[in-house]
Amino acid sequence: MTIRPIVGYPDRRLAMPARPVTAFDATLRELAADLLETMRAAPGIGITAPHIGVPLRVVVLELDAKEGALTLVNPEIEWASPEMILHREGSVSMPGVNDEVQRHARVRISYQDVDGNVHSEESEALRAVCHQHEIDQLDGMFWIQRLSRLKRERLVKKFEKMSRG
């Protein structure tokens, strides 16, 4: 397991859609382990392969220490509730800044595990927000794109100032 360098905003790789995983092998398991170590070191609660410059549809989440980490391979949103919630979000690629983002209150996702087995999960609250946030990233949509232009520009300026100083 290796802590890998995190791709920082505004790197163009964060805006590129990730490719589906087709090989469920030792290389994928190593990538998942590296993502977990990198996320914990950041620190964060979710990370995608594009965050470390690997353009594959892999997400690692760890929302509860007791429950442990979960690797989602090729996740897709199958259904989203019409009800919306606001939740404060940020990114390991843009540390130190966050803002409230509007998301669906509940979602159902399908994904594969590192062995290629298919799973389906319904989630709500923080877990649903994380599913949407990380799947957006796999689709090439960085979280600040969900904000108004004014809020986005304010956050980018704040991040640039923090990065310089």
Contact between residue 47 and residue 38 where contact means Cβ atoms under 8 Å apart: yes
Catalytic-residue membership of 134 = yes
Catalytic member of 30, 100, 134, 153: 134
Which residues are CB-neighbours of 23 under 8 A, at least 6 positions away?
none
Question: Can you tell me which residue has the tokens 């590296």?
Answer: 34
The C-alpha atoms of residue 136 and residue 17 are separated, in whole angstroms, by 9
Classify residue 14 by its DSSP letter. G
Q: Is the peptide bond before 10 cis (omega within 30 degrees of 0)?
A: yes
Bridge partners of 99?
A: 89
* N-terminal to C-terminal alpha carbon distance within the chain: 31
- List the catalytic residues: 134
